[in-house]
Structure 1
């Protein structure tokens, strides 16, 4: 003879409906998370920017791209770039290439001394910007970041080769960098 486990409720039907109700709550919670997480990822930075203000927004930039809703560093702008160039546009802060023994590293830092204005306009896909360290590929060469980073070095090399070929448009160079280093998919 089977014993009724849920005697207090009076019937197995009550227990079954309780289980179904619990499942519905779990599914509803999962649905809320599936909607909330992507929404937070997309709109969260914009909300934080609006609420907290922006240090970058405090500097006067004649670039209206900053006013594009939802735009943030790394996203493609109408002008083909992924950053708003700022900071030093010369090689005064680039580390001395001769201090490095590795020839590839030495060459990469030398490249940064040759085309600092171009590198200051390029987004580097190595992710250092996401850690708050740099705003452009040029800044990757202002410290030892590029010593062991193939992305930083490769970005500079693409820019150098294209500049040597007569291409001065930073948007075209950024497109080539994106084709090589941007995440696929």
Structure 2
């Protein structure tokens, strides 16, 4: 009896297929809402935006943890190869689509709800741009790890793990409190 590992091709295709199905369902739901155009469309879009943000943040908070463990794995080992697969899947299947949906739905909310007005909104968008920068940085790190070119220590990645957390806290405060109206 052979045991399939997550680094095998079949489980990877299956995971990718499930993820693409979930993304397709999410996008079809969003399109259906815009076609249906209910009176509370803004609230529906806001709910989808929050779902996308939660998914994106989950990835941004988990990726550096993977980097910490990957840094401790011996280059070329089965463990290191597993981390490469995990990092790639997290980035391509969860983080990238969630980030894109967050931006698209967020722009709709910013325009339809606030016409891009308000100091708090400008500050929030600036912090989301910074969060996107963190995402891009982590994406480049995934490529470096995939090529066995990571030069950072586990301690470095522990500190890097704090960046999305701090940005998230500031963004949530801006959204809820709206201090610069």
Larger Rg: 1
TM-score by length of 2: 0.25
Highest RCO, 1 vs 2 (Cα 8 Å, sep ≥ 6): 2
Query: Greater share of helix residues, 1 or 2?
Result: 2
